Structure 1
Amino acid sequence: MISDVHLGTKGSKAKEVAQFLKQYSCENLILNGDIIDGWQLRKSGSWKRKHTRFFNRMLKMIERDNTKVFYLRGNHDDFLDQILPLHIGNLSILPDMIYESNGKKYFITHGDIFDSVTTNLRWIAYLGDIGYTFLLWLNRLVNYHRRKRGLPYFSLSQYIKGKVKSAVSYIDQYEAELAKMAHAKGCDGIICGHIHKAENRNIEGIEYLNSGDWVETMSALAEDENGNWQLIYYNEIDFRHKGIRDENISDDTLTNRYQDLKIVAFEKLASDQKPPFLF
C-alpha cells in the first residue's frame, strides 16, 4: 500500500516509487489517496513523463500479475468525487474500503475526512498547502547541498513538524480519532495516509497503520502471508546490484540477484514455486 505520491508536483518522488514497484508483485495494490495532486495541477504544477510512468507501472502489474488495484480518493485528488465509485476490470476507484485478511478487518481511508481544517475550512487548507510547498522547495535546496557534501537525505519538514508542539499534538489527536473510528466500525485496525507520517503501532487495542508518503518519507506498507504488516522504506533497499527485472534472465539468476531483497508477501508460495518479487 502506498499513499501521498502527489504526482504533478516538483516534490513527488515519482521515479523512486516506480522503481520501487518494479521490484515487487502483489495480489492487491492499494493507492490510498493523494496519488495525483489536483490542487497543484490547477495552480502551478505540471505533469511530467515520470508521472505517467507511475501509471504505466501500475497497468503492467495488472496485466502481468493480475494485481487488483484499489485507488482511494484523497483530498488532493478530490476531482475523483465526480466518478465515485468506479470499477473497470481490476481497477476500482473508491472513497474508502474495508479490507479483510487472516481473520482481521481493516478500515482503509485516506484520512482527510477526519481533518476538520481540510473538510470544513478549505481556504485554510489551501493556505497551508502553499506553506508546505515552500517548505518542500527549501527541503530540496538543503538536500542538494547535503548530497554535494556526501551527507544522507534529511527531511526538513519532518524535523520541523517534530519540533512544533502544535503539530505533534495534532498528529496525536488525529491518530487517536482514527483509532476510535475503526473501533466504531467493528474493525481490528485502520490504515490511512494524509499526514505524511509513516506509523505502525497499537492504540488502545486498535492497529493503527499509516503508509507515509512519496514526497519525503518514501515509505509503503506491506502485509505478509500471516497477516502481519510492516513499513518498508525506499532508502533501506539496496538497488545497486538488483537493477530492473528482465524477462530474458533465467529464474535462477533472478533468485540469486534478489535473495537479499526485503520480501513481503500477500500470499503463500507453492512448494515448487520460485521466490517472486513480493510486495
Structure 2
Amino acid sequence: MQSEQSKYKAVWLSDIHLGYKDCKSEFLLDFLAKTQCEYLFLVGDIVDLWSMKRQVFWPKSHQQVLDALLAKAADGCNVIYVPGNHDEPMRNYDGSMFQGIELHREYEYNSISYGKLLMLHGDEFDGAVKYSKINTWFGDMGYDLLLFINRWVNRCRSWFGFSYWSAASYLKKKVRKAEAAIRRFEDAAMHEAKKRGVDGIVCGHIHSPNMRYENGILYLNDGDWVESCTAAVEHESGQIELLHWSNTHKLINHLPADLVIAGRKAA
C-alpha cells in the first residue's frame, strides 16, 4: 500500500452503492485517504436507496465513506454529485448545495486535454440498449448469485494470501449477451456526446470500467465499488487513467494527454 497522497486535477467515482452489502467500502476509504484532487465527481448511485428499501444496511464503514466525501468538500475540493437511478430522489435537488456538495442532474467539465466532457449516470441509455437494470442479462436473482460467487471467491483468495479479483466482472465478460449490451451502451453514450456537441462523456451505471476514444469522442466509464473497485483520474498533465484500487493498486487503462491534440492535427 502506498503511504503518500496522490494529487490529481479531477477524480470520478460512481456506483459506490452505500447501504448495499456488497459495497467495497474499505477499499474506497483507502482510496479517498490516499488521494487529493481539485474536482471530485460523484457520477450516481452513491447511496443505494433501492437496496435500503428492502433492508436497512448501514455499517460503520459506509458512514465513514459518506463522512470522507463531506470532508473533501469541507477542505475545499469541488465535489459535484450527479445522482443515478439508485439515488434518483436526489435528482429533485438539481442546482442545490448540500454541505458543500453541488447537486446537478448532469454536468459539463472542461478537461485539460479532452475538451468538454458531459457527465451523467448512464441509466438514460437503458432504452437504447434494451435493458432497464445493470443485471438484466442475468436477472435479479442471477446478479445476486454472481455477487455471492464474487464474495466467496475473494474470501478464499484472501485465505490463501491472494489479492482481490473481480470474479463477477470476469464472468460477465464471458456472457456474450452481457458483452454485447455493454458495447451498445458505450455506443449510445458516444452518440449522445456527439449529438450534444461535446468532446466526450463520463458515466457509470453498468459496472464496467472502460475508456474509448473514437472519431474525436471520448467515452469514459469509471466503473464501480461493488465489483470492479475502480476510479478514473485526470492528472495535471491532462492524462486520464483508470485505476483499480483494492488491496493492491494498479493502472488498468490510460489515455495520453496529447491524443486529442494529435487527432485534431491529423484531421
CA change 1:117–1:23 in 2 (3 A) is: same
Distance in 1 separating the partners of 2:144 and 2:51: 9
Out of 10, 16, 20, the position equivalent to 2:21 is 10
Are 1:113 and 1:119, in contact at CA under 8 Å, matched by a contact in 2?
Answer: no
AA in 1 matched with 2:107:
M
- Offset at 1:227? 2.3
Matched residue, 1:62: 73
Matched residue, 1:131: 142
Structure 2 segments unaligned to the other structure (5+ residues):
1-11, 252-267
Matched residue, 1:111: 122
> TM-score normalised to the size of structure 1?
0.77
- Offset at 1:194? 0.8
Are 2:78 and 2:101, in contact at CA under 8 Å, matched by a contact in 1?
Answer: yes
The reply on whether 1:234 has 2:245 as its aligned counterpart is yes
Matched residue, 2:184: 173
Matched residue, 1:52: 63
Distance in 2 separating the partners of 1:50 and 1:118: 35
Distance in 1 separating the partners of 2:27 and 2:132: 33
The reply on whether 1:77 has 2:84 as its aligned counterpart is no
Matched residue of 1:15: which SS? Answer: helix
Out of 102, 107, 110, the position equivalent to 1:100 is 110
- Offset at 1:115? 1.0
The reply on whether 1:209 has 2:185 as its aligned counterpart is no
Out of 48, 52, 55, the position equivalent to 1:41 is 52
Matched residue of 1:11: which SS? Answer: coil
Distance in 1 separating the partners of 2:175 and 2:131: 23
Matched residue, 2:170: 159
Matched residue, 1:187: 198
Matched residue of 1:25: which SS? Answer: strand
CA change 1:44–1:131 in 2 (3 A) is: farther
Matched residue of 1:115: which SS? Answer: helix
Distance in 2 separating the partners of 1:69 and 1:46: 25
Matched residue, 1:244: none
Distance in 1 separating the partners of 2:241 and 2:53: 35
1:193-249 Cα distance to aligned partner (Å, 9 max, x none): 1111111221332111110111121110111113221111114856xxxxxxxxxxx
1:135-165 Cα distance to aligned partner (Å, 9 max, x none): 2122111221222233333322212211111
Matched residue, 1:277: none
CA change 1:117–1:131 in 2 (3 A) is: farther
Matched residue of 1:26: which SS? Answer: strand
AA in 2 matched with 1:182:
A
Q: Which runs of 4+ in 1 moved over 6 A?
A: 117-120
Matched residue of 1:167: which SS? Answer: helix
AA in 1 matched with 2:125:
F
Distance in 1 separating the partners of 2:88 and 2:47: 9
Larger strand percent: 2
Distance in 1 separating the partners of 2:132 and 2:246: 36
Distance in 2 separating the partners of 1:89 and 1:10: 26
Distance in 1 separating the partners of 2:140 and 2:104: 24
What count of residue pairs does the alignment treat as equivalent? 237
Distance in 2 separating the partners of 1:128 and 1:96: 29
1:117-141 Cα distance to aligned partner (Å, 9 max, x none): 999857x96x934432232122111
Structure 1 segments unaligned to the other structure (5+ residues):
239-261, 264-279
Structure number with bigger Rg: 1
Out of 28, 32, 37, the position equivalent to 1:21 is 32
CA change 1:121–1:188 in 2 (3 A) is: closer
Distance in 1 separating the partners of 2:245 and 2:33: 12
